[in-house]
Amino acid sequence: SAVISQKPSRDICQRGTSLTIQCQVDSQVTMMFWYRQQPGQSLTLIATANQGSEATYESGFVIDKFPISRPNLTFSTLTVSNMSPEDSSIYLCSVEDHGRGKLLGTDTQYFGPGTRLTVL
Amino acid sequence: AQKVTQAQTEISVVEKEDVTLDCVYETRDTTYYLFWYKQPPSGELVFLIRRNSFDEQNEISGRYSWNFQKSTSSFNFTITASQVVDSAVYFCALRTSGNTPLVFGKGTRLSVIA
pLDDT in tens, A33-67: 999 999 999 999 999 998 888 899 999 999 999 99
User: Which band of pLDDT confidence, cut at 50, 70 and 90, is reported for residue B100?
Assistant: confident
- Looking at residue B96, what is its pLDDT? 85
- Looking at residue B99, what is its pLDDT? 65
Which of B50, B95, B106 lies nearest to residue A42, judging by beta carbons? B106
CB atoms within 10 A of CB B45: 25
What is the rounded average pLDDT of the residues B33-53? Answer: 92
> Using alpha carbons only, what angle is made at residue B4 by residues B20 and A101, rounded to the nearest 5 degrees?
100
DSSP state of A95: E
- Looking at residue A101, what is its pLDDT? 47
Check CB contact under 8 Å for B104 and A43: yes
Three-class SS state of A7: strand
- Looking at residue A104, what is its pLDDT? 47
CB atoms within 10 A of CB A102: 12
Check CB contact under 8 Å for B106 and A105: no
Which of A90, A105, A108 lies nearest to residue B43, judging by beta carbons? A90
Q: Render B29-75 in DSSP notation, one character per residue.
A: -SSEEEEEEEE-TT---EEEEEEETT----EEETTEEEEEEGGGTEE
The CA distance from A15 to the nearest CA of chain B, in Å, is: 24
In chain A, whose CA is at the least distance from the CA of B52?
A: A106
Chain Cα centroid distance, residue B66? 8
Flag whether residue A11 sits within 8 Å of chain B, measured between CB atoms.
no
Whether the per-residue pLDDT at B35 is higher than 70: the answer is yes
Mean per-residue pLDDT over chain B, rounded = 93
Flag whether residue B9 sits within 8 Å of chain A, measured between CB atoms.
no
What is the rounded average pLDDT of the residues B68-90? Answer: 96
User: Which band of pLDDT confidence, cut at 50, 70 and 90, is reported for residue B55?
Assistant: confident
Q: Which residues of chain A have pLDDT under 50?
A: 101-105
What residues of chain B lie within 8 A of the CB of A110, using their CB? 47
CB atoms within 10 A of CB A29: 22
- Looking at residue A97, what is its pLDDT? 63
Mean per-residue pLDDT over chain A, rounded = 90
Check CB contact under 8 Å for A42 and B107: yes
Q: Render A42-61 in DSSP notation, one character per residue.
A: -EEEEEEEETTSPPEEPTT-
What residues of chain B lie within 8 A of the CB of A58, using their CB? 101
In chain B, whose CA is at the least distance from the CA of A102?
A: B97
In chain A, whose CA is at the least distance from the CA of B105?
A: A42
In chain B, whose CA is at the least distance from the CA of A6?
A: B44
What is the rounded distance in angstroms from the CA atom of residue A48 to the CA atom of residue A66? 12
Check CB contact under 8 Å for A109 and B102: yes
